[in-house]
Amino acid sequence: MTFRNMAPSLILINPWIYDFAAYDLWSKPLGLLYLAGYLRTCGFNVRLIDCLDVHHPALANNAPLARRAYGTGKFLREKALRPQALKHVPRSYSRYGIPKQLLVNALREAKRADAILVTSLMTYWYPGVKEVIAVSREVHPRTPILLGGIYARLCEEHAIATSGADRVATGISLRGMAKLLDELLDLGIAGNEAPSPSGGIPFPAFDLLHGLDHVPILTSTGCPYRCEYCASHFLNPRLFRRDPHQVLNEILHWHRERGIRDFAFYDDALLVGFEKHLGLLLEGIVKQNLGLRFHTPNALHVKELSPEAAELLWRAGFKTIRLGFETSDMAMHRLLDRKLSEGDFEKAVHWLSMAGFSKEQIGAYILAGLPGQSVGSVKESVEFVNRVGAMPYLAEYSPIPHTPLWEKAVASSQYDLALEPLFHNNTLLPCWNEEKRREFTQVKARVREIRRSA
């Protein structure tokens, strides 16, 4: 069956999160929104359903969700039964996002759907992916369902076996996805994309969202560093940078068209090649003098900071600085990432402070729960960060398939990490024993104390 005389209709879905905790830290399904923007230029009609939508009109009569400055806040939450694999965890488990009926209603509103595309993120959030696919199947039983995203890439065999999708599509470019849909549906329209007004790929389809209080920005994909615990190199083997002028046009577009002031950079290597990349973008932002605010939830590489970069970050309007510190143990750095040398962190914090950033604005991520890591090492890192003049932020380690550290994580864990992605959940601290987990509660209490004092 073909649809050559009418535009084919697609439903793109960002699924729920099932977890012990989840927070909207400038969270948007950016990859799915890029795909939506591109597929529209190819002639597809695109409908987006965001199951994490905090601005859904049907929620207007609910108690308002707590939102903080700069566009972050809580998701709607509904308690859920813990999966059998997590029954031993004495914490409440929840589904984060819109009520199930709102998803059903949105699917029914689409009278015709030629294909349904579902994205995915964390490996241990797959229950939300599986449920969304099951609901979609009930409403549109004859429509092919495709699954992509990070979980699908990292756990492809598991996704094929358990997700319920008709096809798990991994490692496919925007143009490749259009071609796949063209072949799957026998349409004959892929490759006819209209040129983007920005001169590059089309802007993400943020206009499909019900509300927009911030916009994520991606100036590059990939990372030249090869950290043992990170999957960036597997997901994006090459470092690709966008033209800084195109990125500036995108920022100005969303500010002028939607009044957006807060932008969060999703790059894994934002500061790499600063003078020829981010530096050019920030100089353009400074010249505009629009009072925009910028945030770095994915962390900046400490080694890439300089006095000039720190000053330009301040002048451009950066409000939330997060540094990828990980640990004060230099021996561990030499084993895990080789991205930090003695004295680098102190210099970076000093330069940021001299530029105008307060201690509250300078956060440092500290990894906890690594195979072979001691709790004492994490304690020392927390105190070191505090002494130097930054705020410690604990980042519990989640074992990730296809990373160099994966095999060591599998060997050190009491859980079957290879069989069950639910055990990748960082809440479990899956590579630590029970004694370390108990001791770690004291470290978390110390971090809360430091943050409260600030």
Give the residue with greater pLDDT, 210 vs 199. Answer: 210
Paired residues of 417 in beta bridges: none
pLDDT at 66: 78
Residue 2, pLDDT score? 37
224-255 per-position pLDDT tens digit: 999 999 999 999 999 999 999 999 999 999 99
The answer to whether 423 touches 402, Cβ cutoff 8 Å, is: no
Amino acid letter, 266:
Y
Q: What is the pLDDT of residue 415?
A: 98
The per-residue pLDDT for range 358-387, each reduced to its tens digit, is: 999 999 999 999 999 999 999 999 999 999
The token pair at 181 is: 């849909």
Q: How many CA atoms, within 13 angstroms, populate the side-chain half-sphere of residue 66? A: 4
Domains assigned to the chain: 9-185 (3.40.50.280), 214-453 (3.20.20.70)
Confidence band of 400 (pLDDT split at 50, 70, 90): very high
- Quick one: what percent of the chain has pLDDT higher than 90? 91
pTM of the model: 0.94
For residue 432, the model assigns a pLDDT of 98
Sign for the CA dihedral angle at 77, 83, 86, 91 comes to positive
pLDDT for res 189: 60
Residue 388 has pLDDT above 60, yes or no: yes
Whole-number mean pLDDT of the chain? Answer: 94
CA distances from 317 to 260, 296, 304 (A): 14, 12, 19
**φ/ψ of residue 403, rounded to 5:** -100, 155
